[in-house]
Amino acid sequence: MADGNRAVVFANPQDMQVENLDFPKLEMPDGAKAPHGVILKIVATNICGSDLHIYRGSFPVPQGMVMGHEMTGQVVELGSDVTFLKEGDLVSVPFNVACGRCRNCRARRTEICETTNPDVACAAYGFNLGNWQGGQAEYLFVPYADFQLLRFPDKDQAMEKIRDLALLSDILPTAFHGLMEAGAKPGSTVYIAGAGPVGRCGAAAARLLGASCIIVGDYHKDRLDLMKQNGCETIDLNEDVPLTDQIEAILGEPMVDCAVDYVGSEAHGIGREAGDMDPAHAINQVMDATRPGGATGIIGVYGPDPLAESKAEQEGTFPLDFGKAWIKSPRISGGQAPIMHYNRELMMAILWDRMPYLSDMLNTKIISLDDAPDAYATFDKGASDKFIIDPHGLIPA
């Protein structure tokens, strides 16, 4: 067993550091013993777009918090109450910390567990939601392991597809959830706001669901080029043309069946206003782009943002164009994704090669733990890579 635990920690906005910490214990954040938990040796731990909210200072967290909520690992220590796992198992960790026992968890609503955060019904690793330390580290403690962890059936097969399976902890199920909330199905036309890693997972998931025309909007040309190469239509939001006009130029009509906001409150305007931060732009954009009777998924992160320009937006109140949308009888759903609602089925889709294009669309790049601080800075500039940290050098080239 290792003596310590090297990890990426938050020092200050735009300042991530790799530090040497103590090896994790089978203990809850309040110090209570956790015989239901395990310790994982991390195999893959990703940098997520949500981590950039913390990196930029939009989502305040305490100094010294271990970053990361997208983890895949190998079981190296088990609590005495763990029954269905064994040492050596390779598992995916849902980013929602969930007990499996409360009313919401029993209804498969693990994104709003009632017990794992004393302040609000929502807990997550590495996100100042319940004081759970993150997994951009060599080792991680996971509670309620029998309930939470998704075990891969065959370790060797899983390691061959680890770049794709590493996406199961968050962004692939999150992207899929957005499409489910938007009612996507075979033949649907879909608009995806944002070609970051989650938006690209959304495009891949839309293909899996059999969507017809998949349109992706973004400001970064390299991201849009990646989408074009993988069969999507694209909209450059730097163009000073209304979004619905650009959709009509592609589809022959100005609205889609389903639209998903994968951006959140760090959105910007369109065209000549593309350089201006507009926290409500993405959500208003997808409401505008959805046809009457269609549905919209709001998956991007919204909440109080100390960097926003107005006092209302700093407090988490945003100006929504709901009056214009209301007449269309919209269905609008938002919030975090219940990862466990989707991860097993998506795992099987990956293992049986139903998403062979996933790594190409995500543009995954394997880095070391020491490379992580620089990768944060690169990702913050809009790079098209999806960074996967390999703390122990276990992922094949």
Over residues 206-237, the pLDDT tens digits come to 999 999 999 999 999 999 999 999 999 999 99
Q: What is the pLDDT of residue 340?
A: 97
* Domains of the chain listed by start with CATH number: 4-170+339-389 (3.90.180.10), 171-334 (3.40.50.720)
C-alpha pair distances (Å), 298 with each of 192, 212, 266: 11, 21, 13
- pLDDT tier, 134 (very low <50, low <70, confident <90, very high otherwise): very high
Strand partners of residue 140: 40
**CB count in 10 Å sphere of residue 228:** 12
- Give the chain's end-to-end CA distance (angstroms, integer): 26
Tokens 């800075």, located at residue: 377
Model confidence band, residue 1 (pLDDT cutoffs 50, 70, 90): low
Question: Is 58 a residue whose pLDDT tops 70?
Answer: yes
What one-character-per-residue DSSP string does 229-288 give? Answer: HTT-EEEETTSSS-HHHHHHHHHSSS-EEEEEE-S-TT-B-SGGGTTSB-TTHHHHHHHH
E strand or H helix at 314, and its extent?
Answer: helix 311-314
pTM (two decimals): 0.96
Neighbouring CB atoms inside 10 A of 130's CB total 19
pLDDT in tens, 266-321: 888 888 888 888 888 999 999 999 999 999 999 998 988 888 889 999 999 999 99
Tell me how crowded residue 209 is: count the other CB atoms within 10 A of its CB: 18
pLDDT at 273: 86
Confidence band (pLDDT; 50, 70, 90) for 12?
very high
Torsion of CA 364, 368, 372, 373, to 10 degrees: -140
Helices then strands, each counted (H, E), the chain: 15, 15
CA 346 from chain centre, in angstroms, equals 15
